[in-house]
Structure 1
Amino acid sequence: MRWCSRCVLPDTRPGIVLDDAGVCTACRTHAARPQVDWGDRARRFAALCDEVRGSGPGYDVLIPVSGGKDSHWQVLTCLEHGLRPLCVTWRPPGRTALGRRNLENLIALGVDHMDVSIAPDVERRFTLAAMERFGTPGLPMHMAIFNIPLNLAVRLSIPLVVWGENSATEYGSEDGRHMGVRLTSGWLERYGVMHGTTAADWVGERGLTARELTPYTGPEPDALEASGVRAVFLGWFFPWDPQRMRDVAQAHGFTPREGGAATGLYDYADVDDAFISVHHWLKWYKFGFTRTFDNLSLEIRIGRITRGDAVTSIRQRGDDTPRADIAAMSEFLGISTARFYDMAERFRNPDVWQWDGERWWIPDFLVPQWEWT
């Protein structure tokens, strides 16, 4: 493993490449932000809103939402531009009470809303199959949150879909692709956390049928415009800062999590789903870092902390395995926690980890004298 000389991300993170100076693509991309004409991009979004406003039979824009701080900011931005939104949520099987309250608060901002639930047995089998094949229990979640909104936009003739940040822009791209304004098939394949699969690739796994996988089956993103739908990233038009989103959301009734973050650094992110921490934690086995490293790296780029501060924070936090959430997900999947850990172990990356006869450890780890458990 090699670590970025500016932030605390390793080159094992998918999409990250270190240049000759040891700086990662995410840091290089973020450093170029001051050169972006954000005023021009804001005017482009206003022009797009003028174009779609009133052009559909009912709604001007469809906004995929979870109820989190980003969702609040997306909705408020669209409302401020005079758009009539339909908000759509894939209901996570591990929805938290806080997530439900925040979603209700978002709806109270003045929007129509659909909460889409998938049959629990289908989600259970699909999630278990994704964990077995890729060690990625969040794969069905991502397949649902991308395809359900796009299907509805096409069927209801909604001319615009507004997503949040573009992760290709946030973390960089070695060839510059997928960093534009539109969600494309190539972006989904690279950044959609679906391992390049579609719903059709899961037919037969744990008895799943094509009919059961209907909620996960969507239109081809590259063909959307032919049907009159444009899907764009709001983060292309406006600079993305999680604390700025938090401040705007809180001013309109959003509530962070009491007692600290469920996963990573922020107590105002990943608050709606008790299982999301498990999805993030598996990066530890696969790539040798966790959600905390992502969050701290962003704080370094924004300039709120130094790299030394971040390393100290990681050392102080120590092991952050979400044991309670792993137990809850295991119960949902109908398996023991021992079996879950056995499955996770299958995806421990031998190019990152070494076994010394008693324990696994990572050579040249970012934090010296880390306590390996």
Structure 2
Amino acid sequence: MKFCNRCMYPENHALNLILDKDGVCSGCRVHEEKYSTDWSAKEQELKAILGQYKNRAGSSYDCVIPVVGSGDDFFVVDMVKNKFGLNPILVTYNTHFSTKVGVRNLARLITELDCDHMMSTVAPDIIKEITKVTLEKFGDMYWHVLAGSQTFPVQVATKLNIPLVIWGVNGWLDQVGMFSHHDRVEMTKKVRKEHALRGVDADALVGASEMITIKDLQAFTYPTDEQLEKSRVRGLYLGNYIFWDSQKQIEGVIEKFGYESHIQERTYNTYESIHCYNNASVHDYVKYLKFGYSKVNDHVARDIRLKRMNKAKGLELINQYLDVKPGTLEVFLDWVGLTEDEMLQYIDPFRDPTAWEKDGSGHWQCIGSVLDAGLNMTTGTELEVSDPREYRLTDLLEDQSGFNEYILLGRSYMDTRNYKAVEG
């Protein structure tokens, strides 16, 4: 296994990675664009684009913004509404895995930014069955979240005749440099299927279970080409037009809107993924069991590129979190109706043989971890640390010390009396 000499990403990255002659990955090379791009000109370009959608006749909304209540969501909505003057409708696909702090932050987002909001909640038993099927067929317990969150916003846009959906950062650009900032890649039906869903769309689930019908898959069925052509909807990434720095952005959101942060089981980042019990825990653990790296590698790579830490510190953090077995695993197994052995049997066929192998006793061993790579720490490609930062932990408005329950629905308005949904 080869690793990037700068950010230490592995060459088996699930989104595909290219190492150049210096051993530096495509993600690092595209990230370098952030320091040479004229972002003022980019912002003016964005302003001109958004201006085409303001105050359209016959519509109450200028754009759709997908949200879950993350810090990035606050940043996007604040910029779109308060800086560029658009009137957005916020939409949320219900993951069924919500945390208390996530529910509060979503309510805070809707309340503080004063926006209309729609949510899609699929029948719980159907979600459980889909999760079980996708875990067995594709080794993915998070398919429904990815499919639903990237389908519902476009469904709303086509049905309400809103031709613009605004997303935050392009993850495939930001992580592995699949695109350049200057490509101005937009979110499309093809991008969603090929990259977000790894080629597995809703039609792949038809007939996979007697419980799952075509009707049950409507929440995950993208609008037809005819619908898209009629509505002319486009998906814009803000990260193509502004210097995307999630940590700095969320620090501003904490100060401005009171965003709450929280510890994570499998990474040191206390800002992201905290709305969901499984994103940075069970889902991330499955990623590790398949590829030998996880979300802590993602965060280390990004913070190295942003000149916030060196490789030695990054390895220390990866060593601390990489193989942590999440405490939420038992909750997930009870929720989905599987034993741990059954889940592992589903995952085993999807383990990357360059990252995992069985020992003489038949137990799986990770052979592709960066921790065992014996990296050269001084290759001449490293970036000087110039902006070291720590992720903050804010005070929580209510206890979330346990990992023992998912929240299907929660409060939708925040004030000093109902942040805990108190009686009276």
Secondary structure of 2:89's match? strand
Secondary structure of 2:92's match? strand
TM-score, L = length of structure 2: 0.81
- Report if aligned partners of 1:69, 1:254 keep a CA contact under 8 Å in 2: yes
Residue 341 of structure 1 corresponds to which residue in structure 2?
344
Letter in 1 for 2:299: N
Give, in angstroms, the shift of residue 87 of structure 1. Answer: 0.3
Question: Residues 365, 117 of structure 1: CA spacing in aligned structure 2 closer, same or farther, 3 A cutoff?
Answer: closer
Residue 267 of structure 1 corresponds to which residue in structure 2?
270
Give, in angstroms, the shift of residue 240 of structure 1. Answer: 1.3
Residue 34 of structure 2 corresponds to which residue in structure 1?
33
Residue 219 of structure 1 corresponds to which residue in structure 2?
223
Give, in angstroms, the shift of residue 83 of structure 1. Answer: 0.9
Secondary structure of 1:87's match? strand
- Report if aligned partners of 2:292, 2:366 keep a CA contact under 8 Å in 1: yes
- Report if aligned partners of 1:61, 1:84 keep a CA contact under 8 Å in 2: yes
When structure 1 is superposed on structure 2, of 358-367 and 309-318 the one drifting more is 358-367
Which of residues 236, 243, 265 in structure 1 aligns to 2:240?
Answer: 236
Letter in 1 for 2:60: G
Which of residues 304, 316, 325 in structure 1 aligns to 2:328?
Answer: 325
Question: Residues 263, 54 of structure 1: CA spacing in aligned structure 2 closer, same or farther, 3 A cutoff?
Answer: farther
Where in structure 2 are there 5+ consecutive unaligned residues? 375-424
- Report if aligned partners of 1:29, 1:171 keep a CA contact under 8 Å in 2: no
Distance 1:74 1:347 in 2: 35
Give, in angstroms, the shift of residue 173 of structure 1. Answer: 4.1
Distance 2:217 2:290 in 1: 27
Distance 1:190 1:307 in 2: 32
Corresponding position: 1:60 with 2:65: no
Deviations 1:307-355 (A, max 9, x none): 1211122224463221x22211111211223322332233222232232
Distance 2:290 2:29 in 1: 24
Question: Residues 104, 304 of structure 1: CA spacing in aligned structure 2 closer, same or farther, 3 A cutoff?
Answer: same
Letter in 1 for 2:330: A
- Report if aligned partners of 2:167, 2:235 keep a CA contact under 8 Å in 1: yes
Distance 1:363 1:340 in 2: 21
Question: Residues 30, 128 of structure 1: CA spacing in aligned structure 2 closer, same or farther, 3 A cutoff?
Answer: same
Residue 256 of structure 1 corresponds to which residue in structure 2?
261
Give, in angstroms, the shift of residue 223 of structure 1. Answer: 6.8
Distance 1:149 1:330 in 2: 29
Which of residues 284, 287, 290 in structure 2 aligns to 1:286?
Answer: 290
Question: Residues 179, 125 of structure 1: CA spacing in aligned structure 2 closer, same or farther, 3 A cutoff?
Answer: farther
Distance 1:77 1:292 in 2: 28
Deviations 1:92-134 (A, max 9, x none): 1111111110000000121001121100111111111110011
- Report if aligned partners of 1:263, 1:270 keep a CA contact under 8 Å in 2: no
Question: Residues 284, 178 of structure 1: CA spacing in aligned structure 2 closer, same or farther, 3 A cutoff?
Answer: farther
Secondary structure of 1:246's match? helix
- Report if aligned partners of 1:166, 1:179 keep a CA contact under 8 Å in 2: no
Give, in angstroms, the shift of residue 171 of structure 1. Answer: 2.2
Distance 1:344 1:321 in 2: 15
Residue 205 of structure 1 corresponds to which residue in structure 2?
208
Distance 1:245 1:222 in 2: 38
Query: Which structure dedicates a bigger proportion of its chain to helix?
Result: 1
Letter in 2 for 1:196: G
Letter in 2 for 1:23: V
Give, in angstroms, the shift of residue 162 of structure 1. Answer: 0.3
Corresponding position: 1:132 with 2:136: yes
Distance 2:229 2:54 in 1: 17
Residue 250 of structure 2 corresponds to which residue in structure 1?
246
Distance 2:98 2:367 in 1: 37
Deviations 1:171-223 (A, max 9, x none): 2346769952411233223321x221221221111221111111111125797
Corresponding position: 1:357 with 2:364: no
Secondary structure of 2:269's match? coil
Give, in angstroms, the shift of residue 36 of structure 1. Answer: 1.7
- Report if aligned partners of 2:27, 2:178 keep a CA contact under 8 Å in 1: no
Distance 1:221 1:271 in 2: 35
When structure 1 is superposed on structure 2, of 268-277 and 57-66 the one drifting more is 268-277
Residue 73 of structure 2 corresponds to which residue in structure 1?
71
Distance 1:363 1:52 in 2: 51
Question: Residues 365, 91 of structure 1: CA spacing in aligned structure 2 closer, same or farther, 3 A cutoff?
Answer: closer
Residue 157 of structure 1 corresponds to which residue in structure 2?
161
Residue 382 of structure 2 corresponds to which residue in structure 1?
none
Residue 46 of structure 2 corresponds to which residue in structure 1?
45
TM-score, L = length of structure 1: 0.92
Which of residues 136, 139, 145 in structure 2 aligns to 1:141?
Answer: 145
Distance 2:87 2:369 in 1: 50
Distance 2:59 2:178 in 1: 41
Distance 2:188 2:85 in 1: 26
- Report if aligned partners of 2:296, 2:322 keep a CA contact under 8 Å in 1: no
Distance 2:237 2:157 in 1: 15
Secondary structure of 1:7's match? coil
- Report if aligned partners of 1:246, 1:268 keep a CA contact under 8 Å in 2: yes
Secondary structure of 2:371's match? coil
